[in-house]
Amino acid sequence: MEIRREVKVGAVALVTVIIVYISLNYLKGNQLFERGRTYYALYDDVEGLTADSKVLLNGLRVGRVKDVNFMSGKHGKLLVTFVVFNDLIEIPENTIAEIASSDFFGSRAIYLYPGESSDLVNEGDTLKSRIKGDMLTELSKRFQPIEKEGVNLLSSFDSALVVFTAAANSIRNTSESVNGLIVDEKSKIDELLDNLIAITGSLKENNDELSNILTNFSDISDTLAQAQIAETLENLQKTTEDLSETLIKINEGEGTLGLLVNDSTLYRNLEKASKDLDHLILDVKENPGRYVRVSVFGKK
């Protein structure tokens, strides 16, 4: 009776262990009685790939990693053994076994990328291999061009800022030069206006005498011609007309004033004409008989 009870307890324990083992393998995606074709792949680094990692083809799990271990005589090479369960899957010779991330958390799996060869690999053959970075690494690679563009954009912005600063400095220097030029020209304009005011004042003071001279001009023209004064008076009249026209243009805001400021020859001619006029008026005052004696006495 006691023996039967122990047998029952042992049987229950054995069944429990078997059920737990089967459950664990099922949860891992393993088959209890695993049958399939075994293949190999060599890697320099498996990047976290472990036994029981998935083997995927076109997104479907078709096998599992059976073992990961160093291969003797290969200087640190890692030999990965994996099993493909489905006998219907044909694997061409140039198929690549790539280690890559299977989820965002970095779990690694083997992805099979079938080649185009018509020849198939045999069970136990070693496939070509490669490694793909995890998702974060791939994202970093994808963002590298954007990062470079950002750096180039910042460099362009810095260059544009330098050009803008140089342009602003140039504008400021130009403004200072213009202000200095205006100050310099203002002094010349003020000086010229003072001279013009003095000339017009002198003409106004001697207006009566000039009127008498001009009134008697027709009477003394012959004498003036003989005395070589006619040409001087003609020049005086022309100069007076030019001066009046110049003053009108200045009052109307035309560019004659700028011409007077910048054209030194015209300025000197005007100054000379003014001096000639002053000398003539002074000579008329001091020697009136020189200009009027013949015509005046002739009329009598």
Write out pLDDT tens, residues 8-26.
777 788 888 888 877 776 6
Which of the pair, 172 or 251, is modelled with greater confidence?
A: 172
User: Which pTM value belongs to this model?
Assistant: 0.40
Q: How far is CA 96 from the centre of its chain?
A: 47
Q: Which of 41-55, 102-116, 155-169 has the lowest mean pLDDT?
A: 155-169
pLDDT per position as a tens digit, 148-166: 787 788 888 788 888 888 8
- Distance CA(99)–CA(68), nearest Å, equals 13
Q: Looking at this protein, which amino acid is placed at residue 98?
A: E
- pLDDT, position 1: 47
- When pLDDT is cut at 50, 70 and 90, the band that residue 296 belongs to is very low
Q: Both ends of the chain: CA-CA distance in Å?
A: 189
- When pLDDT is cut at 50, 70 and 90, the band that residue 297 belongs to is very low
Most confident of 185-189, 212-216, 221-225, 270-274: 270-274
Q: Residue 65: name the closest of 87, 50, 47, 44 by CA.
A: 50
- pLDDT, position 246: 72
Q: Residue 219: name the closest of 121, 280, 164, 294 by CA.
A: 294
Q: Which of 78-82, 124-128, 151-155 has the lowest mean pLDDT?
A: 151-155
Which of the pair, 47 or 99, is modelled with greater confidence?
A: 99
Q: Looking at this protein, which amino acid is placed at residue 241?
A: E
Asked whether residue 193 carries a pLDDT value surpassing 70, the answer given is yes
Task: Find out whether 114 and 92 touch, Cβ atoms under 8 Å.
Answer: yes
- pLDDT, position 70: 92
Average of per-residue pLDDT values in the chain: 78
